[in-house]
Chain A
Amino acid sequence: GAVVSQHPSRVICKSGTSVKIECRSLDFQATTMFWYRQFPKQSLMLMATSNEGSKATYEQGVEKDKFLINHASLTLSTLTVTSAHPEDSSFYICSARSTGRREEQYFGPGTRLTVL
């Protein structure tokens, strides 16, 4: 089956620092990757849609200058949380959509970010 990895799985950082999260599709090509954020006991919230080779599309209310997304290849997308603050502490999950089948979307295991 299709596998999506995320790195790191857990990160603790100081307020004001930047954190980069990688999302990789390991055995398939993903033209589109999605970045979600999930706060405790809440549902997934789509932050942005990332297409390979083009700028990401951000959802309303998500600051594109704070959450930098790069999708440089068909197997890798990165999310950088710049100048992180405690309110950015959350569970960040990526998902990747197979190039050939748009209805198939596979989730990474998530990254738990804690900003002190």
Chain B
Amino acid sequence: GQNIDQPTEMTATEGAIVQINCTYQTSGFNGLFWYQQHAGEAPTFLSYNVLDGLEEKGRFSSFLSRSKGYSYLLLKELQMKDSASYLCAYMDSNYQLIWGAGTKLIIKP
């Protein structure tokens, strides 16, 4: 199957921390991606996890548990410019990206 789920919308406060979860079900797996997409723009790459564990990159971190079909994107020290949609996607056995619907993150002052 090709199921991938993430929350539709989340709200957080500037300076705080937010965790965006993503769950998936697939028989073939070649990694989990997170992209950021601002309104009217193309997605930009944030992270790629293919092994279990936490990958940290500045204010953003991404976690993967393959056995649980679960990933999260952690954003620290939130800034207003972080307001965007965050898309998770897994790469299937054909190396094709299967996309979630995206999580719209709203940052409030």
Task: Please list the residues of chain A having a beta carbon within 8 angstroms of any beta carbon in chain B.
Answer: 34, 42-44, 46, 49, 91, 93, 97, 102-103, 105-110, 112
Contact = CB atoms under 8 A, between A and B. Distances in A.
Contacts of A43: 87, 99-102
A103 B42 contact: no
A107 B99 contact: no
Given A44-B87, A97-B95, A103-B30, A110 B100 contact: no
Q: Is the interface of B mostly helix, strand, loop or mixed?
A: loop
Contacts of B42: 93, 107-110
- The interface size bin for chain B is 20 to 34
Q: Is the interface of A mostly helix, strand, loop or mixed?
A: strand
Interface of B: 30-31, 35, 40-45, 48, 50, 87, 91, 95-97, 99-102
B31 A103 contact: yes
Contacts of B41: 109-110
B43 A42 contact: no
Contacts of A108: 42
A103 B89 CA distance: 12
B84 to A, nearest CB: 13
A103 B43 contact: no
14 contacts: A34-B96, A42-B101, A43-B87, A43-B99, A43-B101, A44-B43, A44-B87, A91-B40, A93-B43, A97-B95, A103-B31, A105-B97, A107-B35, A108-B42
